[in-house]
Structure 1
Amino acid sequence: MTTQERVDFWQRQIAYWLASGLSGHAFCKHHDLVYHQFAYWRKKLEQPTTPDSLPGFARVTMPAAIATESGLTLTLPNGISISGLHASNINLLGPIMSLL
């Protein structure tokens, strides 16, 4: 059996199954089909064949670099921002926060 003949056969079986109202297992048992082959072809034939659904590579681009100030910026819920925080002045953050 050629590949196209197998595809045609399973397309017919899937169509018969859909019209039958039976479960996949019951349909296969009634028609002497191997259930795992039936399940394989059902999944294979249900998959869309649009170019967007084909496996492959996707183009990934990095966003443009964002100019930032050196150090960290802490923005509080009330809108106050404290900028320029770094390892040498982080100890000032506690006293500043206590004043707010």
Structure 2
Amino acid sequence: MSDRSKEANRKRSQFWKHHIEEWSKSGLSQNAYCRENGLKPNQLTYWKNKFKRQNLPAEFAQVSPVQIAELLNSRKERLLLNIDSGYQIEIPDGFSQITLAQVLQVLRIE
């Protein structure tokens, strides 16, 4: 997938997350909210179900390798790093900061 396609998918996902959050706060029915915002109800339903299946929070925080290393040094426990591309990295106590930075670079997370 090209960078342009990834960016378009990210923007589309953000657009629908925003509308789902606004609809849930509005107190309106799905159909009424969609009418007021020029949306198709079936698309709102599709994205609502997609996010529900993913069971992911609406936003992710970007964490630098330095922040992860500081967390590891302060907690002395393992850290599970879930990446939206489907990877999960378990980082044990004492994991090398240099190795972590290299792993994140390979996964293009930095």
Q: TM-score range by the shorter chain?
A: 0.3 to 0.5
> Could you say which structure has the higher helix fraction?
2
TM-score with structure 2 setting the length = 0.42
Output the TM-score relative to the length of structure 1: 0.46
Give the structure with higher Rg (CA).
Answer: 1
Higher RCO (CA 8 Å, separation ≥ 6 residues): 2
